[in-house]
Structure 1
Amino acid sequence: MRPDRYVSLIRRGALALVVLSAVALAGCTADPAPTSTSTGDPTPEITTLGETPDASETPSPEPVADISIPASCEDIYSAEMLSLLQADNPPLNDPGVTMDSTEVVEALEVLASGAQTLRCSWGLPSSYGLATNVTIVDASQAQTVIDSLPDRGFACEDFEDGTACRIQRTDEENAFGETHYFRANGWVSTRWINFGPQGYMEDVVATLWG
């Protein structure tokens, strides 16, 4: 065999070996990883450890219990009670009516002591009417009157953040009674003869302290 023929055969054999090696390597290449279709991990859920304390409510201010003397007697009643009084037993503050709002000595002494007070009466001079005093008192004056009432037959009880005391009596001809109400610096005293409108004291209290 000629030398150049021999060299040509060697080159062809080497080329075939290179091609076979490349094919073998291609068969060993790993397939590409599948492409993920996820758009990203979901947002993690945030958990707060422990209990969240309830928001404390701001306490409402206590209502002011002290009162001032009203400008006029009409101001101590609701519109409904004033209308009833004007219809059932006028007039208001007739100068001939001298009835006091109490017969209790200790109470009369406080009224006569110079305590600031507003007196209101209904009716003509007769055995049919009532008289009310709205009075500013200190704690000592109020307690003096309160302490004197049970011995005179008054029944006292807690009422609308204050103390209410009542008595009612009758004789052969008349029905009469008294009511007293104490709260903070206020004292409402009422004496009536044959004319005691239902809910009278309660209406005055609700109007003054409402």
Structure 2
Amino acid sequence: MSPENAAENESAAGHSSPVGGPPAARRRAWIGLAAFASALLIVLVVALVWRVGEGFPRAVDATGTANGTGSGTGTGTGTGTGTGTGTATVPPTPTKTPGATESPATVTPTQAPTANPEPGQSATAAPGQAAAPGVPRPATCTQLYTPEMIHALGDLTLNPEWSQDQDNGVAHGTDDSELRAQIDALDHLTCVWASPYGGSDTGIITNVVWVTPEQSAAVEARLVAKGLECFNQSEGRRCVIQTNTVDGAFGESHFLRNGIWLATKYTNAGPLGYTQNIIDNLWMGV
């Protein structure tokens, strides 16, 4: 039996064809059934994917930040918008990236303030920088006196503010112009005991001057030439002079020892043992 006559023989035997009509119509019917079955299959697959994946994956924007999640994993490249069935994790983009020329901020240290020197001291250098090894270096005038001597000076004030003006004439422990020039040229500490209210006829001026042996010898020679009496005292040389008038007593006392010259001028003041008190305090630990 040839294939071309199979359908007719089946009809003759009493079997009916599933679809009646001419052959062309039957072919169109089969094509329609196939299309319907394909569509149904697609719907079933979509429904299955939807159920398992809890919805279709959402689009991923151009920066790589995922807008949806899925149960699987997926990768992709490109600068456009893409889709996938997985979860994408993208690190956050910095809000500001320093430029190539940007430098970190710098902090300029603030210079430490210089402590105010005691009246009579230099603001730029501590006194005694020229002292030889082993020579006392008092940094302040208060180191020269014991509390008992300070008490004996009564109402006089140490280095009152007005006395710091060089024009007031209370900067030197001598009246001799040559010795004054020596004091100004050498490393020294000046201590003034005077009235806190201004100049008066009562006060004491002492310069602690650091000298070399040659300078010390020259100072003593000048003192002798000016009529001061010199003698040995406390391992050094002491030179003194005093004048008494109806207005009171005034004079000078100088002491030279081991690189130090104590030049003191006084007017109606000077407790007993003033110079010796300074000597004892300066060389106490030497």
Q: Return the TM-score normalized by structure 2.
A: 0.48
Paired position in structure 1 for 2:192: 121
SS in 2 for 1:177: strand
Paired position in structure 2 for 1:174: 248
* CA-based RMSD: 1.5
Paired position in structure 2 for 1:3: none
Counterpart Cα distance in 2 of 1:65 and 1:161: 15
Counterpart Cα distance in 2 of 1:121 and 1:89: 13
Q: Which runs of 5+ in 1 are unaligned?
A: 1-63
Paired position in structure 1 for 2:159: 93
Is 1:200 paired with 2:274?
yes
Of 63, 81, 106, which residue of structure 1 is paired with 2:178? Answer: 106
Paired position in structure 2 for 1:163: 237
- Tell me by how many angstroms 1:157 deviates: 0.4
CA-to-aligned-CA distance 1:165-193 (integer Å, 9 cap, x gap): 01110223131010000001111111000
CA contact (8 A) 2:156 2:203 kept: no
Counterpart Cα distance in 2 of 1:196 and 1:80: 13
Counterpart Cα distance in 1 of 2:227 and 2:206: 20
- Tell me by how many angstroms 1:66 deviates: 1.8
Paired position in structure 1 for 2:6: none
Q: Return the TM-score normalized by structure 1.
A: 0.64
SS in 2 for 1:133: strand
Q: Which runs of 5+ in 2 are unaligned?
A: 1-132
Paired position in structure 1 for 2:129: none
CA contact (8 A) 1:166 1:178 kept: yes
Of 70, 73, 98, which residue of structure 1 is paired with 2:141? Answer: 73
Counterpart Cα distance in 2 of 1:163 and 1:139: 12
- Tell me by how many angstroms 1:142 deviates: 1.1
Counterpart of 2:224, as a letter, is P
Paired position in structure 1 for 2:221: 147
Shift in CA distance, 172/161, structure 1 to aligned 2, threshold 3 Å: same
Is 1:83 paired with 2:83?
no
Moved over 6 A (4+): none
The percent identity for this pair of structures is 31
Paired position in structure 2 for 1:133: 207
CA contact (8 A) 1:106 1:145 kept: no
